[in-house]
Chains A and B, each alone.
Chain A
């Protein structure tokens, strides 16, 4: 679905953001990309729909090269991006109009548009806000509207570029649940860029970016087993993994590859409670 081939990218001031990155993301995958501030992960996100073009190498979206001007509109239709700051993504004064903004630009006929907007708002649980003013909504609600705006364009790939970074824990959980459902039920390919390690738990695959290159690529289980390497590049492990490491080091319990509170508590009951 997304194919990144030997991509390097330098900004105008000469700083190298990506260094010969190659990766393949399959249709229907739920991928999480993690890296510290300035690692190049946001640059990579902007490559996926041609917002940025490689300095060398190529990015192929469903067979189309992002460097091909004629394919740009098709690529933008296929790949939707939601960014970090919800305020920068709201363009109108009524939620319904905001969600309709993208498809309108694509020339979707009115009848179909109404259906698409209603469906998109339902998918993010915001149907009752269709006539509300976006600026009255919370950050989490604004992000849901931004996602609905993307969904109304019926994309096959949804990129979340730190879309939960400014939200409270409830807002973050809502967004995660919504994109997980979109991935499972509608088969939308999701690429989630985040700095919250616990958000990677439950995705299919984690890609760790460091200094513009891919440092690790694997399942969350496999990658979170490499806690020391993650910390060495400014990252971390989820709190459940941190405790698991501590319990193992102190020879209190071996909790295997538990990554969540539920997994850890079940494992501890099995290994430490004798009834």
Chain B
């Protein structure tokens, strides 16, 4: 069963003079096991939208249902929320316990799992995020580097086996190797645990590598959605909106403007190199 969002509208400080509608009539379905990339610039409503997915905020009007549980209903919300794991942008705000082990075990313990199962899940989660058990289990979260904190926060969420994993800018502030590692890790445990992933990211290059579906938000509305090919072939349009489409998509579009004949839907450097291969040695087919 999917997450179904129908005509979701959300207004901050509804009814007051400062009322601000952040989401307007959003319709969106997140299917089992799907990888959805959510993009849009600051203020487009991305953060408001993802906080509706686990009931941290409830719709002003419209419906959010997680596997059938209506997130506007208090009792059903608790059941729906248990299916949705959420990792925020600043991992510092998510870590609070004395040791990495205790921090990661907090969620599974709350689920009333027995000690043996909790221990098994903590070890599995640490392995999945690449934190060596002997080295890190007894460390204080505050001794960790930014990348290690983020891995710990992720481990704490995946140890609960969420059916839907929601990530807000999971790679922000990481170095290139860290970005690649976290992205691969997310894709790995999606495959291993079979969960769906909703990832908010400014980096369309990262989204291009993994997403099945890309959703573009603008001014609180869904501007467009589709496969990465469909969305990134509109690179110029996205760029004008203040977003940063994958580099290869932008370059392909610029080259076409300057006289190259290239297929549509190029958004990786490898695909662009393949297309340019026809021009090898200056034998342009113009």
Interface residues of A (CB under 8 A from B): 13, 35-38, 84-85, 138-140, 162, 165-166, 168-171, 195, 197, 234-236, 239-240, 242-243, 246-247, 250-253, 261, 264-265, 268-269, 271-275
Q: Which of B110-118, B119-127, B158-166, B240-248 contacts A (4 or more CB under 8 A)?
A: B240-248
Report chain B residues within 8 Å CB of A271. 282
| Docked pose: A124 CA to B245 CA in angstroms | 26
Identify which of A85, A169, A240 contacts B242 (C-beta below 8 A): A169
Is B138 in contact with chain A by the CB < 8 A criterion? Answer: no
A264 to chain B, nearest CB (A): 6
Instruction: Tell me the chain B residues, 263-286 only, with Cβ under 8 Å from chain A.
Output: 269-270, 272-273, 276-277, 279-280, 282-284, 286
Is A139's CB under 8 angstroms from B269's CB? no
> Count of chain B residues with Cβ under 8 Å from any Cβ of A?
44
10 pairs of residues in contact across A and B, judged by CB atoms under 8 Å: A36-B177, A37-B147, A37-B175, A37-B178, A38-B145, A166-B89, A166-B173, A195-B175, A273-B279, A273-B282
Is A36's CB under 8 angstroms from B259's CB? no
Is B247's CB under 8 angstroms from A169's CB? no
Identify which of A165, A239, A269 contacts B259 (C-beta below 8 A): A269
Cβ contacts B139-175/A at 8 Å (1 or 0 each) = 0000101110000000000000000000001001111
| Docked pose: A272 CA to B277 CA in angstroms | 10
Interface residues of B (CB under 8 A from A): 41-43, 89-90, 143, 145-147, 169, 172-178, 202, 205, 242-244, 246-248, 250-251, 254-255, 258-260, 269-270, 272-273, 276-277, 279-280, 282-284, 286
Report chain A residues within 8 Å CB of B90. 85
Is A243's CB under 8 angstroms from B247's CB? yes
Is A261's CB under 8 angstroms from B244's CB? no
Is A264's CB under 8 angstroms from B41's CB? no
Report chain B residues within 8 Å CB of A36. 175-178
Known: A85-B90, A252-B276, A272-B276. A264 touches B178 (CB 8 A): no
- Select from chain A the residue with minimum beta-carbon distance to B173: A165
Is A246's CB under 8 angstroms from B284's CB? no
Is A247's CB under 8 angstroms from B244's CB? no
| Docked pose: A40 CA to B272 CA in angstroms | 36
B22 to chain A, nearest CB (A): 14
| Docked pose: A200 CA to B205 CA in angstroms | 18
Is A247's CB under 8 angstroms from B276's CB? yes
Is B250's CB under 8 angstroms from A261's CB? yes
Identify which of A85, A168, A265 contacts B41 (C-beta below 8 A): A168
B47 to chain A, nearest CB (A): 11
Is B283's CB under 8 angstroms from A253's CB? no
Identify which of A166, A195, A268 contacts B176 (C-beta below 8 A): A195
Identify which of B89, B173, B270, B284 contacts A162 (C-beta below 8 A): B173
